[in-house]
Chain A
C-alpha cells in the first residue's frame, strides 16, 4: 500500500514554455502533498506544501507564480513550471501524507525536467 505515482517520469521542453507534472496517491487519500526539487548530486529541497482545497505554501525563495501548485482532490496534486528556463532543469519529487504534519510521507518516483 501507500503508492505514489508521478507523470511524466521525464520531460524535455523549450525555454519559455510551461510544463505540468502530476502527483497521484494511488491507494490512499492524501490531505497533504509536498513538492521537492533535487539538483544533481544535491539533496532534496522542499519547494512547497499543499493541502487539499487550499492554497499551497511555498518555501522562502520559491516563486509561487512560477511554480503553480494545485491540489484539487485528495489523490492528485499538480506542479506547473511556468515560463521554464534552463536553470529550472532538475529532478522534481512529490510526496503525499494522510494528514500532513509529522505523518509519514510516501514519495513518488520523481520527474526529470530538462529545459532546452
Chain B
C-alpha cells in the first residue's frame, strides 16, 4: 500500500526566504507526482505535475524535483511571499486504469511579513 509522507508538517518563514518542502513515498512504481496548494476551507489548486520519466518541473518561483528511485520529491519556493501561505500537498498516482491519487499528509506554510 502506497504511503506518502510530507516533512515538515508545518513551517513558518519570513517573507523573502527560499524554502524547500519534502515529500516521500514508499512505492516507487509511480506514474506521476503532483504538488497542490490548498487554502483554508478551499479545494485544491494544482501547482506542478512531474511525469515519472522527468526529473523536475518549474513554474515561476516554484520548482519541483523527483527522484523516483529513492521515493522522494521536493518543492522549492523561491523568494517566498505572504500570499504563498497555504497547505501544500503532494500526491502520487500509479499506472493503470484503476489508478488513484494517494495524497501526502501536507505541509502548512506560513510566510510572515
Q: A-side interface residues toward B, CB under 8 Å?
A: 6, 34, 42-46, 49, 91, 93, 100-102, 104-105, 107-110, 112
Q: B-side interface residues toward A, CB under 8 Å?
A: 31-32, 36, 41-44, 46, 49, 89, 91, 93, 95-106
Are B41 and A101 closer than 8 Å at their CB atoms?
no
Given contacts A93-B43, A110-B42, list 14 more A-B pairs with CB under 8 A: A42-B106, A43-B103, A43-B104, A44-B44, A45-B103, A100-B97, A101-B99, A102-B31, A102-B95, A104-B46, A107-B43, A107-B46, A109-B42, A112-B41
Residue of A nearest to B41 (CB): A112
Summarize A's interface: helix, strand, loop or mixed.
loop
Most buried by B among A34, A101, A108: A101
Q: Which residue of A6, A43, A46, A110 is within 8 Å of B100 (Cβ)?
A: A46
Residue of B nearest to A91 (CB): B41
Are B93 and A102 closer than 8 Å at their CB atoms?
yes
